[in-house]
Amino acid sequence: MDYQPSSHLLEVLQKIEYDEALSDQDPRYVDSHEARGSEKTFTRLARKFGWDPASAERLLFLIDGTDKMRGEDTQQFFVQDAEQLLAIATLVIYTAPLHLKYDGRLGGKLDADIVLPMMKLYERDGRPFEAGWKTMRQLLLLRADRCLFASDAEVDRLVEFSGGHPRELLRLLKLCCELAEDRIDASVVQTAIEKLAADYRYFLKLADYVLLKTIDSNPADGGNDEQAQQLLHRLALLQYNDGTWRRSHPVVRTLEGYGAAGG
């Protein structure tokens, strides 16, 4: 029997999973290669491992979840114990917290450190990037049947305010399922966006809004100081195309603090 996404709000809510990686055999799996908008990342990765997908013979291990380490655990695992990781005689990819890339501690410790780009919805010049939109719509509609949405506009608005981040899209979907009576309409989507934005309001300071607004004016100049790293880590700042440009999270731009900030 062909897979059918859930057409019941409660069932969608119960099945939303933020942290579990899906195998390519899972019917909800979506190939995001093209949507991330950067062939360089995948080419560099394949070249580093000497891997040709057409004739691959060696086994590659992907250790997922290690990017969720915090504090001293991160330092111990990726920096102090780096030699032990390299001593494993096989091909291994570890997921790591993004801030390690920019604070200099990871440099030279492992064979390579490559940033997986966000799925972009727009090019840096503001033109829509259709591959990103298509992938994010597909990701959403494999979890919630189209009949649950009042129109395609609600689907697109959720995608828009996710910023191209799958977990943020699922957070918005979860909020919609909690708020909706029977279908997800424009008012439900707007309330979900406001609730997600409120999560960012709790920790963003005036200086953060100023920096975010400055970066939005010049996406290629995001800086790598501790403030920018923290904003990246907490998703208030999103980056695209191998980190060559950045932009604030769309829900952050709805906040009063952003509107009032200079920059």
Give the type of residue at 69: M
Closest CA to 63 of 36, 44, 90: 90
**How many CA atoms within 13 Å lie on the side-chain side of 53?**
4
Structure tokens at 188: 């439900």
Mean pLDDT computed over 117-124: 87
Q: One-letter amino acid identity for 185?
A: D
- Res. 105: pLDDT tops 70: no
d(Cα 138, Cα 141) in Å, to the nearest integer? 5
Q: Which residues pair with 247 in a beta bridge?
A: 238
User: Degrees (nearest 5) of the Cα angle 112, 242, 78?
Assistant: 35
Q: Cα–chain-centroid distance for residue 234?
A: 11
CA distance 12 to 177: 7
Could you tell me the pLDDT band of residue 23, with boundaries at 50, 70 and 90? low
> Which tokens hold the place of 180?
């909706």
CA angle 252, 253, 254 (to 5 degrees): 90
Residue with tokens 């090019």: 123
CB atoms within 10 A of CB 163: 25
The mean pLDDT of the chain is: 83
Beta-bridge partners for 93: 62
Mean pLDDT of 33-47: 62
Q: Are strands 91-94 and 60-63 parallel, antiparallel or unpaired?
A: parallel
- Local confidence band at 213 (pLDDT 50, 70, 90 cut-offs): very high
- Beta-sheet strands, E only, within the chain: 60-63, 91-94, 237-240, 245-248
Give the pLDDT band of residue 40 (cuts 50, 70, 90): low
Tokens found for residue 55 = 């004739």
Q: How far apart are CA 228 and CA 244, in angstroms?
A: 14
First to last CA, the chain: 55
Task: Specify the pTM.
Answer: 0.79
SS3 content of the chain, % helix, strand, coil (to 5): 50, 10, 45
- Range with the poorest average pLDDT among 9-18, 120-129, 188-197: 9-18
| Bridge partner list, 240 | 245
